[in-house]
Structure 1
């Protein structure tokens, strides 16, 4: 007699008739096929992937004519449902209830992640280190920057800068006055120079003496932190204009004189003028409170006779500057050489600075401040300039470089008058 044994979920067995057994087996086979087809893609992962054994399974086996059919059904949880935590009991564990089946082999989603080879793992830090070292090697080269304005922000550095400028002007002044031939030979070794060139270079020297007096006054003002005053702002602006004038005269005479210059001396000339102008402009930017802005000019009429005297000096100095650039010869003795126009133009900025000095002294006279040390130094600088010019001009007259006529004598007399006036004010002004 044919029978079918059906394993119930409770573990009991029950005999049925052949016909009913056949129907049951066929129904279970169909159910198995349906469940397997419907859940084949996910049920393996859900059963084998959860070690807690929260899901229960049932197995049924039936034997028909020596053939055993195993039907397995499982209740699957939705992926969104939380799985209960906690250890699974041995009685309810899927591995204990169901024998291993070929269907329960780990699928692609249950396979443990592949570990990278040891060589690749070891090479990763080395590659990262190599990349970081390469990034360091390709970093752009940063050059140190030099900000002159920031450097000259402190009074100590400002005083040091003006001390250097005053010393440079004083040394060049002495060299140009005492050894003009040697200076011309060093600066212009290829040029033919005349006695008139020697006279002009000496005039350059006395204008540099006035520049040294101005820069020395600025040095003391920097130490006292007084450079923000309008007086010193105007003096620094005058020094900057003088430096620009030196460069402009050189540029105007470059076609005819550049080939005659010694390269080191040409570079020294340009470098000194640029440095002096840059220092004055940088200090103005740091002390004016308004950036690179010069103090406004006061064009009011003089308030006393001394102020009128300085106003006359301003007019004479401006006329002298214009005379340096007229086509006619300033002195009527020796003819001009190739470098005479250059030397004639170089001392023009020095007289322009003398006009600025006279304006500052006129303003101080209006305010009754000529006894202050700064204005005493400026008066002494003007006296040195004019006494030196008088000696040089008198020597030119005696050496027949200048004809003895009314213009020459008025020139010499005016220079001596300005020098005496400045020296008298220096000696008599009270604080």
Structure 2
């Protein structure tokens, strides 16, 4: 792949990814600490505290988006875009954001409940991620032939782990890929984590069903960051590189997102007096697994 960054273009791309990282991190923090900023107060009041919990769940995943952007920004600065790791991060960042926009477009068009600034983020981040990818790699992020080729390469790699840690990362990748497909194809899989089920249980209006599906598909797309991260870490484990700074930071990010996300889920189940869904346990496992690797990663010489 031809890497196009050089001179002023390199500076522009670096700054662009840096700003994208800042924006997405700010979105994450606002959603975690001030979930009401993600939507009109009328909607929040109608199904409170449920909407706030769901918004906090989705907000935690924006930490992934910000981290991927910062990693690519660092790669641009150090002229390391030739690395497959950073290309995967940049491409997945663009593809996930574009898919998110595609799923959210009917809501945006219908003027569904969404704060103005969040609507701007929904539109702006995929456009920025796609344009920055084109500038950085002189290629379209959604090139179907390249995506199919990468998918086949990924499948072969998952079937050929080179170490114990790589085996477990391969399993995590496969499991969360299945979750992503399941959530996108059948949003009802989210069970009590949906607005429609909550509305039905509380006797509220079911007019939120359209937003309900979008929220669950949002979760599905965000879960893909677990799969993408696990595959990147599997590749690092194959090369005995888990102790490198990028991969340690990625493990820390995965652990942080997974454990915070799990905490919000438990709080949600407690606040709404619902039983704990099975889907929380894989998230906890991933968080603990990445925490262990973060604290125990050692360089080969050690």
Shorter-chain TM-score: what band?
0.7 to 0.9
| 1:354 corresponds to 2:222 | no
Question: Cα offset for 1:154?
Answer: 3.6
Q: CA–CA distance in 1 between the matches of 2:289 and 2:198?
A: 32
Distance 1:328 1:234, change over 3 A: same
SS in 1 for 2:241: coil
SS in 2 for 1:388: helix
| 1:369 corresponds to 2:235 | no
Aligned to 1:132: none
Find the structure with the greater CA-based Rg: 1
| 1:235 corresponds to 2:89 | yes
Distance 1:310 1:421, change over 3 A: same
Question: Cα offset for 1:265?
Answer: 4.6
TM-score, structure 1 as length reference: 0.57
Q: CA–CA distance in 2 between the matches of 1:162 and 1:195?
A: 34
TM-score, structure 2 as length reference: 0.79
Equivalent residues in 2 for 1:208-287, closer than 5 Å: 208-254=62-108, 257-261=110-114, 265-285=118-138
Q: CA–CA distance in 1 between the matches of 2:139 and 2:12?
A: 12
Q: CA–CA distance in 2 between the matches of 1:206 and 1:263?
A: 20
Q: CA–CA distance in 2 between the matches of 1:395 and 1:189?
A: 20
Distance 1:214 1:260, change over 3 A: closer
CA contact (8 A) 2:94 2:129 kept: yes
Distance 1:236 1:401, change over 3 A: farther
Q: CA–CA distance in 1 between the matches of 2:45 and 2:59?
A: 20
Count of residues in Structure 1 that have an aligned counterpart in Structure 2: 275
2:162 pairs with one of 272, 297, 303: 303
CA contact (8 A) 2:180 2:220 kept: yes
| Structure with the higher fraction of residues in strand conformation | 1
1:172 pairs with one of 15, 22, 27: 27
Q: CA–CA distance in 2 between the matches of 1:317 and 1:152?
A: 39
Ranges in structure 1 where 5+ consecutive residues have no aligned partner:
1-148
Aligned to 2:50: 196
| 1:155 corresponds to 2:10 | yes
- Per chain length, whose mean CA-contact separation is higher, i.e. which structure has more relative contact order (CA < 8 Å, sep 6+)? 2
Aligned to 1:334: 198
What's the RMSD between the two structures over aligned residues?
A: 3.1
Question: Cα offset for 1:364?
Answer: 0.9
Distance 1:152 1:265, change over 3 A: farther
Q: CA–CA distance in 1 between the matches of 2:93 and 2:50?
A: 27
Q: CA–CA distance in 2 between the matches of 1:252 and 1:179?
A: 25
